[in-house]
Amino acid sequence: MKSLRFVLAALTVTLAAQETSPVPTATAIFERTKAATVIILTGEGAGRLRSIATGIIISRDGVLLTALHAIKDAAEVQVRMANGEVFDRVELLGYDERRDVAALKISTGNLPALASGSSVNLAQGDPVYAVTNAGGLAWSATEGILSAIRPAEEVPGAGSGFRLLQFSAPVAAGSSGGALVDRSGALIGIITSAKGSAGFAIPIESIMGLADSGHRTALGSGSSLQMPARIASDVPQSSAAIIDVDPKRTLRDAKTIYIHSKTAFLTVDTLDRTLALQKDWPKLGLTIVQDKRVADLLIEIDRPLFTYIHTFVIVDKRTSILLGSGKVTAFDGTIASGGLAKDIVKIFAAVRLPPSSK
């Protein structure tokens, strides 16, 4: 009887301790996640910034996870921590092409790693949290709920053969590679994409072994990469600033272009490839970037509904001033891209190339 009373007493103490165990507040979760979240800068070479992504530290000795597409084919990679430390030497430990996740390593120790959780016990409607570099705004905190755990086959363009965590916490460009954490602050997924208002993450238990391949591949040094200056492109420009803009000089001095398509009939990739085939394109010294925030100029392509007219406009990102435009009538976007690319190159060549080489 004494033994039974002892067991019951011990069980009561254990249950009481569990009931009084403090649940971390959202603020505490965000602070812990922020400390383990990094900015990943990738470059095209010679310090030309290509994209900004997010990574999450999973091991105190410098192992982190991010989205594979964020670093794939990058000439330069740099990692920046919330405490201000910058690492220019980054190694690739492993990757999963199907799930779009990569494991990286920086040479340091005693880092604020995030504890791993599991999606096994998650239920629809459970609260989830994320800290990412969405929209270039470093260490932005968002919260939402777990919307569903579904096969990738159910998500258009996601792939097949794995599961995805669908969640409602807002994500945007720059969120790729960020951490999705549960109500205890444990890492449950790596954010890889967004489709409309839904975000998607890869369950952490399916990718934890990426860092254990035993191989190390040094990535290009990111020592020349810098965060882009915060140009207030969303703030209305003063009339004086716009008056001072010389369209020809803007076209001549630009270094980077971001292409956006408003139509499914003519894709960005199609125009990108067609531009590369133009004889004078390599002479222009222009780089097409995948991140709008680091672009000097914007090219927008479109095909208005119920027409075969394909259009383009070239715009100065800083002032939104129209620098050039054109249109081609064609049944097919692939065919139209040839005419559009030719006109785009002609506009730039007029101010960037000497008369003898045009």
Residues forming the active site: 69, 100, 176
Tell me which residue of 166, 351, 174, 336 sits closest to 265, measured CA to CA. Answer: 336
What's the CA gap between 212 and 215, in Å, rounded? 8
Contacts of 118 (CB under 8 A, 6+ apart): 186, 188, 203, 204, 205
Amino acid occupying residue 314: I
Closest CA to 351 of 326, 324, 331: 324
> Sheet of 101-106: strands edge to edge?
86-87, 76-81, 37-43, 49-57, 63-67, 101-106, 90-96, 217-218
Structure tokens at 241: 């600033």
The three-state secondary structure class of 38 is strand
Q: Do the bridges between strand 86-87 and strand 90-96 make them parallel or antiparallel, or are there none, so unpaired?
A: unpaired
